[in-house]
Structure 1
Amino acid sequence: MITLRRGDRLTIASTGTADVLLTGEGHEPVALPDADGSVAALLRALDRPLTWQQVRDELTLDAARCDALARRLVTSGVLTLGCADEHGEVATARVHSRLAALRLDGDLAVGEPVQLSPYALLRRSGERAVVESARDCTVVELHRPALAAVVAGLCAPTTPEAAGGLAPGGLELVRLLAAVGLAGPPGPETGPAPHAAWAHIRSRAGLVDARGVPVRSLDEPPPAPAADTDIPLPAPDLAALRRTDPPLAEVMETRRSVRRFGRAPLTVAQLGELLYRTARIQRRFTPDLADQRSYAHTLRPVPSAGAMHELDYYVAVRACRDLTPGIYRYLPDRHALALVNRDTVPLVRLVNAAYLAINRESVPPVLISLAARFGRNSGKYGDLAYSLTLRNAGVVLQSVYLCATAMGLGACAVGTGDAADFAEATGLDPAEVSAVGEIVIGSLPGEGE
């Protein structure tokens, strides 16, 4: 039996801008208009768990209005769904999107086959197993470990009774999974792959309850002291560049992906100018409680969500005049390079992967990998952080493209990259820091080449 439940710690208050304001621990405030008092009446009725039909009987509303109101409260996270048997609680479902597929007034036909949705993901959350939807992030928490067998039993078409018989409370769980769209009649699998759907819903508000992960501080780490081995880079004359650079309209019109490079190697001055114009720290800001960014952050030539700037530039140098081949990290606070690895094996792997990705037209002289420090912006943006990192990387790639074009250099974003090669080359843990974008740089081919 599926019931609707109200959160124990939910507080109901009236405000001047909304008829009902619902607040609670671990829940974003929800404001609902309640001109006829139906919201307040429903919430009062749910001092105890009620079935969908009992909710209809409690309220003096027509069935369609009552269903719409209850559905709205469920999909806004104000109400949860649950099921129990004679032994106690079986499972609880929390819905995070108003677009979630709910069939609360339906029931499973006896003897008719049912199957788990391909978008149902069984995983651990804390000390319990949960079934989560890769389409809308509905989460069904299993209150008993044995119920995982019921979820596994639904992988092949079976009857609700057969799957439910795999563990006590199993039939109630099957009904709850069906009610929130995680189980249903067998059929052909259509739509995007589950991992693609999962990535998308985590990238947009409205499809997932996206809150920041509690962290101690969002402040940008202070710069490390300069090392004797750091390589200072020459800084360009910005005043001169403002006079001599081609107009932006011309740069944007002439920008092209260059996959065949000239024989002339890049110079340290050219590499330094490119990094200076796209990646250096221009200014540091201390926390300002009057500003939305009440944490230390930096200003740079390219924008970044929340001024978090979680992307580091790792430069794999195969051929650059006056610079030894190797893998370097750009230090944006002091416009210098720090040597990461001089071993030729990882360098060749990174450069060769880029060479294959740009259709084997020319071996790249320089490869810039954008490595994301994932913990940097996840504390602020929660589940949206990774999608923002990919957007930040796109902004950087276009900025490098335009700067290289203005400088008369060739550039080409790399469509693929090997995370394992990057991790081995840098010694970084890919779960904490990993490359999310690459671009190759070189001189333009001269006439006759």
Structure 2
Amino acid sequence: MSRYVERNENDQLDAGTKPADPLPELQLPDPALAGNISIEQTLAQRRSIRSYSDNPLSLSNVSQILWAAQGMTMDKFFRTAPSAGALYPLEVYLIAGNVRGLDVGVYRYAPARHSLIRICDGDRRDELCKASLSQPHIRDAAAVVVIAADYSRTTVKYGTRGIRYVHIEGGCAAENICLQGMSLGIGTCVTGAFDDAKVASILNLPANEDPLLILSIGYV
């Protein structure tokens, strides 16, 4: 069962993040490490899905998708997507609209604890849709994932070349989401056309984070 927990200053922080948030944190169900479909099948069947049913996502499936994007692996240090220098510049945000067991709102995924930190309340899908050239699949999806980046975490070591490395990492995380979604019977669509400043405002992103891409997720 998932449960809200309060963080304190002694909790372990994710690499490169701010000090502990005072907001409640939702512990996600443990991710599964085995599935019923092969990687070859997910590659063959993956498609961009822009039309979704009204069926809600389960919290366990949301947990699995977030873990696929940036979850910690069994060695408890590296993550599911490769990162230049293991510097992990990405931040993953969930905009929940129709997820069983999860209030509508914006959440940040905390990989080290496999949990969600609530950023703000309210259904932001319509706002996000309007900020994304009014593409309806973002409004109609059960939930939306936004991948943002703090470039400085990587450029401090690699200079301007680090910008390319961050983009490579964002693509790896997005493909992980798409393949994980396919294995769960969940449709996904990667979107790159949006107003950066508006998306950052909707999600209340810190000034050092830039949105890279948006993924709508939902049952077909």
Matched, 1:314 2:93: yes
CA-based RMSD: 2.5
- Per the alignment, residue 438 of structure 1 pairs with 214
- Per the alignment, residue 184 of structure 2 pairs with 407
Unmatched runs of 5 consecutive residues or more in structure 2: 1-13
Q: For 2:122 and 2:62, how far apart are their aligned partners in 1?
A: 21
Structure 1 residues 281 and 271, CA gap change in structure 2 (3 angstroms): same
Structure 1 residues 309 and 271, CA gap change in structure 2 (3 angstroms): same
Give the counterpart of 1:236 among 27, 31, 43. Answer: 31
Give the counterpart of 2:121 among 339, 342, 353. Answer: 342
Q: For 2:131 and 2:94, how far apart are their aligned partners in 1?
A: 14
Q: Pairwise mapping of residues 202-351 of structure 1 onto structure 2 (< 5 A)?
A: 220-221=15-16, 229-238=24-33, 241=34, 244-282=35-73, 283=75, 298-344=77-123, 346-351=124-129
Give the counterpart of 2:152 among 371, 375, 384. Answer: 375
Equivalent position SS for 1:439: strand
Q: Alpha-carbon deviations, 1:1-24, whole Å to 9, x = none?
A: xxxxxxxxxxxxxxxxxxxxxxxx
Structure 1 residues 254 and 355, CA gap change in structure 2 (3 angstroms): farther
Structure 1 residues 228 and 318, CA gap change in structure 2 (3 angstroms): closer
Equivalent position SS for 1:321: coil
Matched, 1:428 2:209: no
Q: How does the TM-score come out when normalised to structure 1?
A: 0.43
Q: How big is the shift at 1:224?
A: 5.0
Q: For 2:119 and 2:54, how far apart are their aligned partners in 1?
A: 26
Amino acid at match of 1:382: G
Equivalent position SS for 2:30: coil
Q: For 1:355 and 1:363, how far apart are their aligned partners in 2?
A: 14
Identity over aligned pairs, percent: 24
- Point out which structure has higher relative CO (alpha carbons under 8 A, 6+ apart): 2
CA contact (8 A) 1:316 1:351 kept: no
Q: Alpha-carbon deviations, 1:368-389, whole Å to 9, x = none?
A: 1111012100111101121221
From the CA coordinates, give the structure whose radius of gyration is larger: 1
Q: How does the TM-score come out when normalised to structure 2?
A: 0.83
Q: Pairwise mapping of residues 13-412 of structure 1 onto structure 2 (< 5 A)?
A: 220-221=15-16, 229-238=24-33, 241=34, 244-282=35-73, 283=75, 298-344=77-123, 346-354=124-132, 356-357=134-135, 363-412=140-189
Structure 1 residues 355 and 251, CA gap change in structure 2 (3 angstroms): farther
Structure 1 residues 408 and 279, CA gap change in structure 2 (3 angstroms): same
Number of residues of Structure 1 aligned to a counterpart in Structure 2: 206
Q: How big is the shift at 1:278?
A: 2.9
Equivalent position SS for 2:112: coil
CA contact (8 A) 1:351 1:367 kept: no
Unmatched runs of 5 consecutive residues or more in structure 1: 1-218, 285-297, 445-449
Q: How big is the shift at 1:279?
A: 1.5
Equivalent position SS for 1:277: helix
Equivalent position SS for 2:159: helix
Q: For 1:441 and 1:232, how far apart are their aligned partners in 2?
A: 21
Q: Alpha-carbon deviations, 1:286-341, whole Å to 9, x = none?
A: xxxxxxxxxxxx40011112221100001111111111111110011101110111
Amino acid at match of 2:85: G
Q: Alpha-carbon deviations, 1:39-90, whole Å to 9, x = none?
A: xxxxxxxxxxxxxxxxxxxxxxxxxxxxxxxxxxxxxxxxxxxxxxxxxxxx
Equivalent position SS for 1:398: helix
Equivalent position SS for 1:368: strand
Q: Alpha-carbon deviations, 1:103-147, whole Å to 9, x = none?
A: xxxxxxxxxxxxxxxxxxxxxxxxxxxxxxxxxxxxxxxxxxxxx
Structure 1 residues 360 and 343, CA gap change in structure 2 (3 angstroms): closer
- Per the alignment, residue 6 of structure 2 pairs with none
Amino acid at match of 1:254: Q
Structure 1 residues 249 and 347, CA gap change in structure 2 (3 angstroms): closer
Structure 1 residues 361 and 305, CA gap change in structure 2 (3 angstroms): closer
Equivalent position SS for 1:440: strand
Q: For 1:228 and 1:341, how far apart are their aligned partners in 2?
A: 9
Structure 1 residues 236 and 361, CA gap change in structure 2 (3 angstroms): closer
